[in-house]
Amino acid sequence: MSEKSPTSGPLLYLLGCSALDRFAYRLLLEQTLEYPVAVDSSFEPTRVWKAMRIRPDLALVDADTPSPGAREAIQIIPQLCPKTKLLVVGAAVEPALVKEWGSLPIAGYVVKDGGPEELRAAITAVLSGSEYFSEGVRAAILDGRSASAGRARLSRREAELLPLLARGLTLREAAHRLAVGYKTADTYRTNLLKKLGIHSRVELARYAIRERIIEP
């Protein structure tokens, strides 16, 4: 499908796991909010690639948690079309669950209890180049972004050391795994903890589990 014509309105792409849920959202968007949905798809990578040929202005993501499938799809979209904005509609409001979305390139998060009018406000804001987060979730999203930024600043060796320490290996054991000296590993550890703002092994393990670096 070719790009939209200059006279057409914004193109929306509806992304979600369930075909039934996508159908319900399509009805809401088109009949109640009067936003045309150009295409919808599941999180399957091949379907995402195909759907993104229309170069939509906004991708509306129906997902309660950033599952591996949802996470992969959301990461693919900016690579295929950097101008497409991402808006998540989810049920999670607990900070620990919402925080995970902060590591992904989303421009907004709307809780499902917010209703059609909040969804309209979110779509309008995101399409205009702003961000929109439902009341009570912004702090968790920003917290997730900070954690993600800290992780992104890690050197390759620091990133390799992180899961080893989080799984309970001693620093000497981790140094052996990395084939470096103890003092070198100690420097990696010091820099790692400083960048992440973490002060203990327990906090590091919790961080690694929360960020899905290791399994609980």
Domain-wise residue ranges, the chain = 12-147, 153-210
Q: Give the mean pLDDT of 4-24.
A: 80
Tell me which fold the domain 12-147 belongs to. Answer: Rossmann fold (3.40.50)
| 95-99-101 Cα angle (round to 5) | 135
Q: Give the mean pLDDT of 53-81.
A: 91
Question: What's residue 8's pLDDT?
Answer: 56
Res. 2 pLDDT band, cuts 50 70 90 = very low
Question: What's residue 152's pLDDT?
Answer: 61
Is the pLDDT at 178 greater than 80, yes or no? yes
What percent of the chain is helix, strand and coil (3-state, nearest 5)?
55, 10, 30
Res. 200 pLDDT band, cuts 50 70 90 = confident
The SS3 assignment for 157 reads helix
pLDDT (tens digit, 9 = 90+) per residue, 42-56? 999 999 999 999 999
Are the beta carbons of 72 and 21 closer than 8 angstroms? no
Q: Among 8-12, 25-29, 132-136, whose mean pLDDT is lowest?
A: 8-12
153-210 is classed CATH 3.10.20.600 = no
The owner of tokens 């620091």 is 158
Q: Give the mean pLDDT of 113-119.
A: 93
- Provide the token pair at 194: 């400083």
Is the pLDDT at 7 greater than 50, yes or no? no
Q: Among 40-49, 116-125, 171-180, 189-198, whose mean pLDDT is lowest?
A: 189-198
Q: How far apart are CA 134 and CA 136, in angstroms?
A: 6
